[in-house]
Amino acid sequence: MLGRLRTRGSAAAALARAFAERERAVDAGTGVICVDPDGVIAHWSRGAEQLWGWRAEEAVGQRLVQLLMPSTLVEESLANIARMTNGETLEGEVVMRRKDSTQVLLWAHRAPVFHRDEVAGILGVAVALDDKRKAYRALVESEAMNWSILRAALDAIVAIDQHGRVLEFNPAAERMFGHARESVLGRELAELIIPPRHRQAHREGLARARDGRPGRILDERLEATALRADGSEFPVELTITRMHGEPPRFAGFARDLTERVQAERRLAQLVRRPEP
pLDDT tens, residue by residue, 17-47: 444 444 444 455 688 888 888 889 988 888 8
Number of domains in the chain: 2
Closest CA to 154 of 114, 123, 112: 114
Instruction: Evaluate whether residue 275 is within a structural domain.
Output: no
Least confident of 12-16, 50-54, 108-112, 272-276: 12-16
- 131 and 7 part of one domain: yes
Per the prediction, the chain carries an average pLDDT of 78
pLDDT at 189: 94
- 113 and 213 part of one domain: no
Instruction: Evaluate whether residue 39 is within a structural domain.
Output: yes
Greater pLDDT, 3 or 254:
254
- 240 and 177 part of one domain: yes
Across residues 89-111, what is the average pLDDT? Answer: 87
Residue 8 has pLDDT above 60, yes or no: no
Q: Amino acid letter at 173?
A: A
- 174 and 196 part of one domain: yes
Would you say 33 and 63 are in contact if contact means Cβ atoms under 8 Å apart? no
- 99 and 168 part of one domain: no
Greater pLDDT, 58 or 47:
58
Among the candidates 149, 181, 202, a domain finishes at 149
- 100 and 136 part of one domain: yes
Distances (CA, A) of 41 to 64, 91, 174, 210, 250: 6, 19, 31, 38, 31
Residue 131 sits at φ, ψ, to 5 deg, of -60, -35
Farthest CA pair distance, the chain: 78
- Domain coverage including residue 98: 3-149
Which band of pLDDT confidence, cut at 50, 70 and 90, is reported for residue 63? very high
Report the C-alpha gap between 26 and 28 in whole angstroms.
6
Going by DSSP bridges, is the β-strand pair 166-169/222-227 parallel, antiparallel, or unpaired?
unpaired
Among the candidates 149, 164, 196, a domain finishes at 149
- 93 and 217 part of one domain: no
Query: At 215, which CATH number?
Result: 3.30.450.20
Across residues 116-143, what is the average pLDDT? Answer: 63
Max mean pLDDT among 14-23, 137-146, 150-159, 179-188 falls in 179-188
Instruction: Evaluate whether residue 112 is within a structural domain.
Output: yes
Tens-digit pLDDT profile for residues 218-255: 777 888 999 999 999 999 988 888 877 778 888 888 88
Tens-digit pLDDT profile for residues 160-171: 988 999 988 888
Instruction: Evaluate whether residue 33 is within a structural domain.
Output: yes
Would you say 249 and 243 are in contact if contact means Cβ atoms under 8 Å apart? yes
